[in-house]
Every structure is written in structure tokens, then in C-alpha cells.
Amino acid sequence: MTESKILTRPEAVQQAEAWRAAGQRIVFTNGCFDIVHLGHIDYLEKARSLGDRLVLGLNTDASVSCIKGPLRPVVNEYARARLMAALEFVDAVVLFGEPTPLELIEAVRPHILVKGDDYSVENIVGADFVIQNGGSVQTVALVPGYSTTKLIEKIRQAYQ
């Protein structure tokens, strides 16, 4: 059942068009989501509350390794995609392997692009595209103290 929410890029484009035709507002966000924690859940709930449908761009394993280093991800892309798809407030999960989600954002054409408030709007990849196409870019407050990197470090320290 949750696998049906994991879409290829062409499937995501088709689904977004159907939602758009039905008058639904599409929210897009992206990330690695390696070792899911409270910060991820809170962030995605807040993102989804800004529209009717939430499309989540999920970094592939190769792109996570490029961003976070050779020891990451801890959880593989299939498992991460299933975990994200299992969340009721995530409507679609689309893997992307490019260095940034720009091509996916341009394909999906969301009404609202969301990132955490550790970003400024001018530094969010795809912001210009979304704004130029009549959409908006929002940042949402992050739960302080939660990050996968901090969680991994805490585990390492506990088991050394």
C-alpha cells in the first residue's frame, strides 16, 4: 500500500497534473531523511499543512553520499522511501539523484516550495522557478536539537 505512493518522475508529473486539475494546491519539499526522527515528522506535517498535497523529493543513496559523506546514508533509499510514504501527510515520494532537486521541482511545478527555517528564501533551490510561475516559497520552523548527524554522533559516543 505505501509503495503506491513512491512514484517515478513521470508518474509524479502525471499525478501533480491531476491534483492541479482538481484545484488542489501542491506543496514540494526535499531531503535525505536518513534515520527518521521527530524533527523530520514535525517538518513534514508543517509542510503539508500549507497545501492539499505534499510531494517529497528524496535523495538517492548516491546523492546522500555526495552530500553527507561516504558513511551515509545509514538507511537505504528503498527503506527511506517506504518510511516516508507510510506517513499519512506525505502524498508522493519521488527519488532524485541530481545534485539539487531543481529538475524535479521544474517537472512537478508545485504551488508552494518548502524548506526549514535554517534556509533563507534566496538560498532555496528552485525558489526562483516557483515564484516566477506564480507560486510561493515558505520556510517552516525546525524543532531545535534534532538532526540525523547529531543522532549518529550520540549513538557513536554511547557505544565507544
Q: How confident is the model at residue 1 (pLDDT cuts 50, 70, 90)?
A: confident
- Segment 6-34 mean pLDDT: 98
The residue among 1 and 89 whose pLDDT is bigger is 89
Q: pLDDT for 59-98, tens place per residue? A: 999 999 999 999 899 999 999 999 999 999 999 999 999 9
Query: Quick one: pLDDT at residue 47?
Result: 98
Residue 148 in grid coordinates? 540525523
CA distance 85 to 30: 13
Query: Quick one: pLDDT at residue 17?
Result: 98
45: domain CATH number is: 3.40.50.620
Query: Quick one: pLDDT at residue 120?
Result: 92
Query: Quick one: pLDDT at residue 145?
Result: 87
- Tally of domains within the chain: 1
Q: How confident is the model at residue 106 (pLDDT cuts 50, 70, 90)?
A: very high
pLDDT at 131 over 90: yes
Range name among 32-36, 50-54, 145-149 with the lowest pLDDT average: 145-149
**Alpha helices, H only, the chain:** 9-21, 38-48, 61-68, 77-85, 102-108, 127-132, 148-158
pTM: 0.94
Q: What domain range includes position 83?
A: 2-158
Query: Quick one: pLDDT at residue 130?
Result: 98
Q: CB 99: neighbour CB atoms within 10 A?
A: 12
CA distance 153 to 28: 29
